[in-house]
């Protein structure tokens, strides 16, 4: 296969370019369907004139169908898209990026999806899909799955199929609440995951970050103590990686700590820990939930984050991540990571 692809790149470079363009169109339609031509053009960065001719070709091949709501894939289109994914994986160089990431950062596995989350909103759904596929291969019956909050984890939740729930899973939030918006909090995301898979879940209604005095009092409460033990016994942990300053702002961090983060050149955050580019811990918040050292007890730790702008944060976290970590990212971040 690789030999054939290499020959095609040399002899028929235009063919590869056209195939890649049509693959992106099918992929975007699948992610956004039903979708109008204008929204699709914006998502892809194509002019409507260029997109129109490609769409007409794909329609003639019975790969897409039109309706008053917009375009969607036919069954044949879905089959073609699935068949193309492996080929495009080789063509785009993502498999090589994966190998480089695994070697450089000593993660158990690295998975790279096409695109850059900073540039294309559909990439987040691809990150979610990749995480779901990774989960399918590793989750076992009666597993406890701890999940953090955030928009990337919410994308994972939306991609979960009901079939995973046949394994009698229990979803739990990896930490308490964060800020005023409950939409993407760990409690909400874990509840959605449980609902999508017809699984069980537990809620953890405590603040994400508290003072030392309140923390000592909280963890002595029987129900909180029991829940913490349950979370720490998770077989699988799903989490995102945040940019330090933006996460600190979401937590309404005090001016004193914010100055500490700025002076310490913090770039990344995970589980309440703030890291600089060297992976050193600049600050640790008094968070209620999973701690960094607890990750060593999990069989699988799946970190999901994309976008070139997140590369520094990802790199900082990976220097502290447990060996069992599986990194799922996109081309935008991966290309920066392998160079840095």
Phi-psi region of 325 (alpha: psi -120 to 50; beta: other; left: phi over 0): beta
Q: Position of tokens 């095609």?
A: 8
Q: pLDDT value at position 131?
A: 96
Q: pLDDT value at position 315?
A: 97
Which pTM was predicted?
0.82
Q: pLDDT value at position 35?
A: 93
Q: pLDDT value at position 305?
A: 98
Q: pLDDT value at position 179?
A: 52
Residue 274: name the closest of 312, 218, 326 by CA: 312
CA distance 292 to 210: 17
Helix boundaries (H) for 12-150: 13-32, 37-44, 48-60, 75-91, 94-105, 122-138
Instruction: Divide the 340 residues of the chain into consecutive groups of 10 and give the mean pLDDT of each group.
Output: 64 77 90 90 86 94 95 95 82 84 95 90 89 95 96 94 92 77 85 96 78 69 88 97 93 90 96 95 88 95 97 97 96 93
Beta bridge partners of 111: 328
CA distance 135 to 6: 32
Q: pLDDT value at position 27?
A: 87
Residue 237 backbone phi and psi in degrees, to 5: -120, 130
Q: Is the peptide bond before 34 cis (omega within 30 degrees of 0)?
A: yes
Q: pLDDT value at position 201?
A: 95
CA distance 330 to 124: 9
Q: pLDDT value at position 210?
A: 61
DSSP string covering 252-281, please?
A: T--HHHHHHHHHTTEEEEETTEEEETT--E
Is CATH 3.10.20.600 correct for 94-339? no
Triad 173, 176, 179: Cα angle to 5°:
120
Estimate the share of the chain in helix, then strand, then coil, as percent rounded to the nearest 5.
55, 20, 30
Residue 157: alpha-carbon gap to chain centroid = 10
Q: Report domain extents, the chain.
A: 2-91, 94-339
Distinct helix (H) and strand (E) counts, the chain: 15, 13
Please tell me what DSSP assigns to residue 163: G
CATH topology of domain 2-91: Arc Repressor Mutant, subunit A (1.10.10)
CA dihedral over 296, 297, 300, 302, signed as positive or negative: negative
Q: pLDDT value at position 173?
A: 96
Phi-psi region of 33 (alpha: psi -120 to 50; beta: other; left: phi over 0): beta
Contact 244, 281 (CB under 8 A): no
Residue 235: half-sphere exposure toward Cβ, Cα within 13 Å:
11
């Amino acid at each position: 296969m690789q030999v054939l692809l290499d020959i095609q790149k040399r002899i028929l470079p235009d063919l590869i370019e056209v195939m890649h363009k049509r693959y992106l169109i099918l992929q975007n339609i699948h992610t956004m369907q039903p979708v109008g031509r204008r929204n699709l053009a914006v998502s892809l960065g194509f002019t409507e004139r260029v997109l129109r001719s490609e769409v007409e070709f794909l329609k003639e091949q019975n790969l897409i169908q039109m309706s008053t709501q917009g375009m969607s894939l036919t069954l044949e289109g879905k089959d073609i898209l699935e068949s193309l994914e492996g080929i495009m994986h080789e063509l785009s160089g993502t498999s090589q990026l994966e190998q480089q990431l695994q070697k450089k950062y000593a993660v158990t596995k690295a998975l790279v999806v096409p695109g850059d989350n900073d540039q294309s909103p559909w990439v987040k759904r691809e990150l979610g899909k990749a995480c779901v596929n990774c989960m399918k291969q590793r989750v076992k019956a009666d597993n406890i799955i701890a999940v953090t909050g955030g928009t990337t984890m919410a994308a994972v939740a939306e991609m979960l199929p009901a079939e995973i729930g046949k394994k009698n899973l229990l979803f739990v939030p990896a930490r308490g609440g964060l800020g005023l918006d409950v939409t993407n909090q760990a409690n909400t995301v874990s509840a959605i995951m449980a609902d999508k898979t017809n699984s069980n879940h537990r809620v953890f209604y405590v603040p994400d970050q508290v003072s030392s005095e309140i923390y000592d009092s909280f963890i002595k409460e029987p129900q909180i103590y029991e829940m913490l033990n349950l979370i720490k016994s998770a077989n699988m942990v799903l989490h995102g990686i945040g940019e330090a300053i933006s996460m600190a702002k979401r937590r309404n961090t005090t001016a004193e700590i914010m100055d500490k983060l700025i002076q310490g050149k913090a770039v990344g955050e995970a589980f309440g820990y703030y890291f600089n580019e060297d992976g050193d811990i600049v600050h640790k918040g008094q968070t209620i939930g999973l701690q960094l050292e607890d990750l060593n007890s999990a069989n699988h730790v799946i970190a999901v984050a994309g976008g070139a702008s997140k590369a520094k944060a990802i790199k900082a976290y990976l220097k502290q991540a447990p060996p069992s970590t599986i990194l799922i990212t996109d081309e935008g971040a991966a290309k920066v990571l392998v160079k840095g």
